[in-house]
A and B are shown apart, each in its own frame.
Chain A
Amino acid sequence: MNLRILRVLLRKEYLQIYRDKLMLRQMLLMPFIQLFLLSSAATFEVKTARVFLVDRDHSATSRGLVDRLHASGRFAVVGASASMDPADDALLTRDAGMILGIPAEFERDIVRTRAGSVQLVFNAEDGALAGVTNSYAQQILAAYGRELGATLRPVVTEAPHIEIRTRGWYNQELDYKDYMIPGILVQLLTLVGTLLTAMNIVREKELGTLDQLNVTPLPRSSFIAAKLIPLWSIALAELAAGLAVARWVFGVPVAGSVPLVFLAACIYLLVALGIGLLISTMVDTQQQAMFVSFFLILVYLLMSGLFTPVRSMPEWAQMLAELNPVKHFIGIMRSVLLKGAGLTDIVRPLAILTITGTIALAFAVRQYAKTSA
Chain B
Amino acid sequence: MTTTLGAFIVKELRHILRDRQTLTILLLMPLIQVILFGFALRSDVRNVRLVIVDPFPDYATAALSSRFGAASRFRIVAVTPTMRGVEPLFQQGKADIAVVFEPGFGSRLGSGEPARVLLAVDASDPNTGTTMLFYARAVFASYEAELGSERGRPVRIVPATRMRFNPTLESVNLFIPGLIALVLTLVSALMTAISLSREKERGTLEILLVSPLRPWQIIVGKVVPYLGLAFANVLTALVAAWLVFHVPFRGSVTLLLAESLLYSMVSLALGVLVASLTGSQRVAMLVALLATMLPSSLLSGMVFPIASMPTVLQVISNIVPARWFIIIARGIMLKGVGLEYLWRETLVLAGMTMLLMAVAVRSFKPRVG
Residues of A within 8 A of B (CB): 22-23, 26, 29-30, 33-34, 37-38, 40-48, 65, 91-94, 97, 110, 114-131, 134-135, 137-138, 141-142, 144-146, 148-150, 152, 156-172, 174-176, 178-179, 199, 203, 282-283, 285-288, 290-292, 294-295, 298-299, 302-303, 307-309, 311-314, 317, 331, 334-335, 338-341, 345
Contact = CB atoms under 8 A, between A and B. Distances in A.
28 contacts: A30-B290, A37-B294, A41-B298, A44-B305, A114-B156, A117-B159, A124-B167, A127-B171, A128-B303, A129-B307, A138-B159, A145-B154, A145-B156, A158-B151, A159-B151, A159-B154, A161-B114, A162-B117, A163-B114, A163-B116, A167-B120, A170-B124, A176-B126, A285-B198, A286-B198, A295-B25, A302-B37, A308-B42
B25 A292 contact: yes
Contacts of B262: none
A176 to B, nearest CB: 5
Interface stretch (B130-138, B233-241, B264-272): B130-138
* Interface-centre pick from B42, B92, B114, B282 (highest chain A CB count, 10 A): B282
Given A164-B137, A165-B116, A307-B303, A37 B22 contact: no
A41 B304 contact: yes
Nearest to B293: A294
A298 B36 CA distance: 10
A114 B122 contact: no
Contacts of A150: 154
Contact of B155 (A37, A129, A145): A145
A130 B153 contact: no
Given A91-B164, A149-B153, A341-B92, 8 more contacts: A46-B308, A162-B114, A163-B115, A168-B120, A175-B126, A178-B126, A307-B41, A345-B92
Contacts of B125: 179, 309
Contacts of A307: 41, 303
Contact of A165 (B109, B118, B173): B118
Nearest to B98: A169
A37 B186 CA distance: 19
Contacts of B334: 125
Contacts of B22: 287-288, 291
Contact of A159 (B43, B92, B110, B112): B112
B221 to A, nearest CB: 17
Interface in B131-158: 133-134, 137, 140-141, 143-144, 147-148, 151-158
B347 to A, nearest CB: 15
Interface in B221-279: 279
B117 A44 contact: no
B90 interface: yes
A166 B164 contact: no
B160 A167 contact: no
A290 B155 contact: no
Contacts, number: 324
B127 interface: yes
A122 B164 contact: yes
Interface in B33-52: 33, 36-37, 39-47
B129 interface: yes
Contacts of A169: 90, 120-124
Contacts of A292: 21, 25
B160 A117 contact: yes
B283 interface: yes
In this complex, the interface size class of chain B, counting residues with CB under 8 Å from chain A, is 35 or more
Contacts of B287: 26
Contacts of A125: 165-166, 174, 330-331, 334-335
Given A41-B309, A179-B126, A288-B22, A118 B157 contact: yes
Contact of A313 (B26, B42, B112, B143): B42
A172 B124 CA distance: 9
Interface string B76-119: 00000000000000111100000000000000011110111111
Give me the 3 closest cross-chain CB pairs, A-B, nearest first.
Answer: A168-B123, A149-B154, A158-B112
A203 B281 CA distance: 10
Given A22-B283, A115-B158, A171 B114 contact: no
Contacts of B286: 23, 26, 30
Contacts of A97: 307
Given A126-B301, A164-B137, A164-B140, A119 B42 contact: no
A364 to B, nearest CB: 18
A162 B144 contact: yes
A38 B158 contact: no
B29 interface: yes
Given A115-B158, A149-B155, A292-B21, A167 B121 contact: yes
A308 B109 contact: no
Nearest to B29: A295
Given A41-B304, A145-B154, A314-B40, A126 B112 contact: no
Contacts of B134: 135
B161 interface: yes
B38 to A, nearest CB: 10
B213 interface: no
Contacts of B1: none
Contact of B166 (A44, A124, A144, A167): A124
Interface string B15-28: 00001011001100
A271 to B, nearest CB: 20
